[in-house]
Copies of this chain bind each other. A is one copy, B any other.
């Protein structure tokens, strides 16, 4: 029904009807606009006063407009978080650096064309012409090993992560020279587009390495999604000013890029669920019910890591997850977290931790604290890991990675 699909940059009857439906669902509550245009508008408004983050639109029902592939920043980071994700990693053939540079250029050209078409109002594949708009968003990133070997222009912090205590990483499920993250409202779109992306990358010379799918809890607009432990995940995400300081950049050639850290974290859902509720809340440092920190009364209260009980003990225990991950221990640094849950069978469920940051060391510092002291550690295991420099976006006549070849 192409007549119903408005321009992504403007409003449309269908988008209005979507907002109307959300309004009905919220029964008069705050209505947060979704879609990249709205997200950009939200970012442009600057800091919000209600304490919600730039990803507050997570889980919003999809509007009936496509999200344009083109822009100064890739839509897979910028647009509100969508219900489903699919990641694909590829390697380059590792012949000579010169040959691999040429291959990478061809792969990025092929991916630019494939992703722009798949995300458009008129995707070429008939399986994406269902009457519903796909709402595909994507990001493409470069792994640290390839960046070093091919002398690409990437941020100085991009590196292979150090080993952390407790890591049980499967290299067949992590790393890679090239990372593609697809997000959409539904799994069907991801499966079809993943097939197109893999075919495009392979035909340009890339070698498939791993794939992983994930999904998000249905989440009312303006609220934070839960993970399989039942915890709200992403509460302390940065607002716009903090994102400019801690997520995008560094300034200069990389100001519209960011670094993605991906961790496939197996969760012992039954084991954690067997703890009494009060104990679970002390492990996390927040109350599962409303997500409020133990030091406060509302989800968006800043956790007070210095607050003490009358007996002198910390209100948020010394090994609580939120304490060790607190920006207060890290000069205010915040990562933009957009994690998903995964379900790879009854014995392997957990979290696909996805976080975006300017400097990889933001993650390293937090993870060093968590890996040694987090009370959650008996219930989680990091089983795969990847890092990528998420390229700046491509304009309508541009190609992803145009800035890599200095």
Q: A residues bordering B, Cβ < 8 Å?
A: 1, 3-4, 13-14, 17-18, 20-21, 24-27, 59, 64, 83-84, 125-127, 130-132, 185-189, 191-192, 194-195, 198-199, 208, 211, 213, 215-220, 223, 226, 228, 230, 269-270, 288-289, 341, 343, 345-346, 349
B191-A349 in contact (CB<8A):
yes
Is there contact, CB below 8 Å, between A127 and B217? yes
Q: Report whether B228 and A215 are in contact in the complex, using a CB–CB cutoff of 8 Å.
A: no
Q: Do B223 and A131 touch across chains, with their CB atoms under 8 A apart?
A: yes
Among candidates B14, B198, B217, B228, residue contacting A130 with C-beta atoms closer than 8 Å: B217
B288–A346 touching, CB < 8 Å: no
- Separation in Å of the A39 CB from the closest CB of chain B? 21
Once the chains are docked, how many angstroms separate the CA of A126 from the CA of B281?
14
Given A130-B226, A288-B126, A218-B346 contact (CB < 8 Å) = no
Task: Identify which of B27, B132, B187, B230 contacts A4 (C-beta below 8 A).
Answer: B27
Measured between beta carbons, the chain B residues less than 8 angstroms from A18 are 21
Complex contacts, A126 vs chain B, CB 8 Å:
226, 230, 288-289
A169 to chain B, nearest CB (A): 19
With a cutoff of 8 Å between Cβ atoms, the chain B residues found around residue A220 in the complex are: 1, 130-132
Closest chain B residue to A213 by CB distance?
B343
- Total copies of the chain: 2
Q: Are A346 and B4 in touch, CB under 8 angstroms?
A: no
Whether the pair A189, B218 counts as a contact (CB closer than 8 A) is yes
Chain B residue numbers with a CB within 8 Å of A341 are 188, 191
Q: Is the CB of B14 within 8 A of A1?
A: no
Tell me if A345 and B188 are in contact (CB < 8 A): no
- A223–B199 Cα distance when bound, in Å, is 29
Q: How far does the Cβ of A344 sit from chain B's closest Cβ, in whole Å?
A: 9
Are the CB atoms of B127 and A230 closer together than 8 Å?
Answer: yes
Is there contact, CB below 8 Å, between A21 and B27? Answer: no
**Distance in Å from the Cβ of A215 to the closest Cβ of chain B?**
4
A127 and B211 contacting across the interface, CB-CB below 8 Å: no
Q: Which of A20, A218, A220 has the most CB of B within 10 A?
A: A218
Interface centre among A26, A186, A188 (most CB of B within 10 A): A188
Q: Which residues of B contact A219 (CB under 8 A)?
A: 130-132
Chain B residues positioned under 8 Å from A64 (CB to CB):
24-25
Q: Could you say which residues of chain B place their CB within 8 Å of the CB of A213?
A: 343
Known contacts A1-B27, A1-B220; can you find 9 more A-B pairs with CB under 8 A? A4-B25, A18-B21, A20-B24, A59-B130, A130-B220, A131-B223, A186-B218, A191-B341, A199-B270
Alpha-carbon gap, A228 to B193, bound state (A) = 11
Least CB separation from A189: chain B residue: B218
Which residues of chain B are within 8 angstroms of A13 by Cβ–Cβ distance? 24
Determine whether the beta carbon of A127 is less than 8 Å from that of B226. Answer: yes
Neighbouring B residues of A349 by C-beta, 8 Å = 191, 195
CB contacts (< 8 Å) of A208 on chain B: these are: 346
Partner of A1, one of B3, B25, B189: B25
Q: How far is the CA of A223 from the CA of B343 in the complex (A)?
A: 30
Q: Is the CB of B211 within 8 A of A188?
A: no
Distance, CA A194 to CA B194, complexed state (A): 26
Give the CA-CA distance A198 to B83 in the complex, in Å. 24
Query: Please, which residues of chain B bring their CB within 8 A of the CB of A343?
Result: 187, 191, 194, 213
A–B Cβ pairs within 8 angstroms, 21 of them = A1-B220, A14-B24, A17-B20, A17-B21, A17-B24, A25-B64, A25-B132, A84-B187, A126-B288, A127-B228, A132-B218, A186-B218, A188-B216, A189-B218, A191-B215, A191-B341, A191-B343, A191-B349, A195-B269, A195-B270, A211-B346
Q: Which of B1, B25, B187, B223 contacts A215 (CB 8 A)?
A: B187
Say which residue of B17, B215, B226 sits within 8 Å of A186 (CB atoms). B215
Closest B-chain residue to A212, C-beta based? B345
Q: Which residues of B contact A216 (CB under 8 A)?
A: 188
